């Protein structure tokens, strides 16, 4: 920089010194004339270079640097180097901004940048979907004008962002959003939105689960407690009547024990912490045992048949498969009226293995079928309790089949009975003679 200043001032200084030397020798007229001529030439030189500088600055980026002599060469070089540094810094800032935008666009949560007037400066695609806004169309639009919900407007105006706001989306009423405002920079704000619909459903299921378990246990506990209070207050106990009471208490105790057993089984399956041990399960032998148990449970009230269309084995966990198949069989016995038919069948169909239970019961309306595997869901709650069901059987079946990469197929019509099939992929089928 000092060299640049010196190169600007030394020509006129040199001209002045020459003029001072000429003055006493040739007189003031010649000295001043020479000095004026030199200044004129210097002025023209600067004018030409200024013109070149102006044309260069107006030229597109990357234009060739003008040729300059003396100080102007250094001026052009300083400007060129400054431009390169500025261009590099701008490129780095643009790259950093682009990386930020790409990262924000990849976020699973919605992000909206708001200025101090709560106007949209930028938003990612998730936010566009959740709030039905557009990054281009709604640029610098007030967020409160686009999301016209009173609770959202109150949240923006309250400026108390310690706790998130839970709200339903007007665009999709089934969508629940958790919204959090985070102040940053010069009175700007980040609006963060997260889809918590699934979390809300899980919380609802948890509350329903606790309520259902409490309800299921209340009735047998009330029965047992009532009889015990009766015995406690009775001066004399009628043994014949007491036997009936004892039998009812035993039935209710077994019902509670079945509920607890099913809850523990479901908890074990849902936790998925233990690694499932697998072996070649002899399904034919297993179904013969379940068939005998079904005959005992039916006590002659139904016509039960077992058809083993294949002797193939299944790669899986025998305890879990016994539980799944047993639930399907016991449900058929419980919900089929006396005199009805129940058919058990083990078969191969297009390579996959299928265990099917067909009954001639009252059937199920198609609108309820999709919910049958929900915990404690019953089409007819009163009838289910009369038959001794816990409401967890099909939920257990679904989890066991999922662990075996299988699926549960349900076909039913009111008045025409039901068909439940546990289907397993071909890779789990061990055909006869291929087992190790």
Per-residue pLDDT tens digits for 260-292: 776 777 676 666 656 678 899 999 999 999 999
Residue 316 pairs with which residues in a beta bridge?
279
Residue 343 pairs with which residues in a beta bridge?
305, 358
Asked if 157 and 150 count as a contact pair (C-beta separation under 8 A), the reply is no
pLDDT score, position 350? 87
Query: How far is the C-alpha of 105 from the C-alpha of 131, rounded, in Å?
Result: 15
Instruction: List domains and CATH numbers for the chain.
Output: 2-100 (no CATH), 107-195 (3.30.450.20), 204-271 (1.10.287.130), 279-430 (3.30.565.10)
Residue 359 pairs with which residues in a beta bridge?
342, 418
* pTM, entire model: 0.52
Query: What stretches in the chain show pLDDT beneath 70?
Result: 1-15, 19, 62, 68-70, 97, 100, 202, 204-206, 208-216, 219, 227, 232-241, 258-259, 262, 266, 268-275, 375-391, 433-436
pLDDT score, position 10? 62
Residue 302 pairs with which residues in a beta bridge?
none
Radius of gyration of the chain (CA): 43
Q: What is the dihedral of CA 36, 41, 46, 49, to 10 degrees?
A: 170
Q: Is 400 exposed, middle or buried (0-12, 13-18, 19+ CB in 10 A)?
A: buried
In angstroms, what CA-CA distances link 269 with 72, 396, 399, 403, 404?
82, 8, 6, 8, 12
Q: What is the token pair recorded at 233? A: 């207050």
Per-residue pLDDT tens digits for 138-181: 988 998 888 888 888 888 887 777 788 888 877 777 788 888 88
Q: Is 350 exposed, middle or buried (0-12, 13-18, 19+ CB in 10 A)?
A: exposed
Q: What is the token pair recorded at 352? A: 């996959």
pLDDT score, position 382? 47
């Amino acid at each position: 920089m000092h060299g640049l200043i010196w190169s600007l001032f030394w020509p006129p200084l040199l001209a002045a010194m020459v003029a001072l030397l000429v003055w006493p020798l040739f007189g003031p007229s010649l000295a001043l004339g020479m000095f004026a001529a030199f200044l004129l030439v210097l002025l023209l030189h600067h004018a030409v270079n200024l013109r070149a500088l102006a044309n260069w600055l107006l030229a597109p980026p990357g234009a060739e640097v003008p040729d300059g002599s003396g100080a102007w060469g250094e001026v052009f070089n300083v400007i060129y180097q400054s431009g390169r540094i500025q261009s590099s810094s701008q490129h780095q800032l643009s790259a950093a901004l682009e990386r930020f935008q790409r990262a924000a666009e990849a976020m699973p949560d919605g992000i909206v940048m708001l200025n101090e007037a709560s106007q949209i400066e930028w938003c990612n695609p998730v936010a566009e979907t959740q709030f039905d806004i557009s990054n281009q169309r709604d640029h610098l639009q007030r967020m409160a004008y686009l999301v016209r919900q009173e609770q959202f407007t109150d949240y923006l105006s309250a400026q108390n962002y310690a706790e998130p706001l839970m709200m339903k989306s007007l665009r999709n009423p089934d969508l629940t959003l958790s919204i959090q405002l985070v102040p940053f920079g010069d009175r700007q704000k980040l609006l963060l939105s997260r889809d918590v619909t699934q979390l809300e459903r899980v919380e609802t299921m948890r509350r329903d689960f606790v309520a259902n378990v409490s309800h299921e246990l209340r009735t047998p506990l009330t029965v047992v407690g009532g009889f015990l209070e009766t015995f406690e207050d009775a001066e004399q106990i009628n043994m014949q009547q007491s036997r009936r009471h004892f039998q009812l208490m035993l039935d209710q105790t077994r019902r509670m024990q079945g509920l607890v057993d099913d809850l523990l089984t479901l908890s074990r399956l849902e936790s998925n912490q233990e690694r499932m041990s697998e072996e070649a399960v002899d399904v034919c032998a297993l179904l013969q045992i379940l068939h005998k148990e079904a005959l005992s449970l039916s006590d002659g009230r139904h016509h039960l048949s077992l058809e083993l269309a294949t002797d193939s084995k299944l790669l899986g966990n025998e305890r879990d498969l016994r539980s799944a198949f047993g639930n399907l069989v016991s449900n058929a016995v419980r919900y089929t009226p006396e005199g009805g038919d129940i058919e058990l069948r083990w078969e191969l169909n297009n390579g996959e293995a299928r265990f099917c239970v067909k009954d001639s019961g009252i059937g199920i309306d198609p609108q309820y079928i999709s919910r049958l595997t929900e915990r404690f869901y019953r089409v007819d709650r009163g009838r289910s309790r009369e038959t001794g069901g816990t409401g967890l059987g099909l939920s257990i079946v679904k989890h066991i089949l999922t662990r075996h990469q299988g699926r549960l197929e349900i076909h039913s019509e009111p008045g025409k009975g039901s068909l439940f099939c546990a289907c397993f992929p071909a890779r789990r089928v061990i055909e006869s003679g291929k087992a190790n």
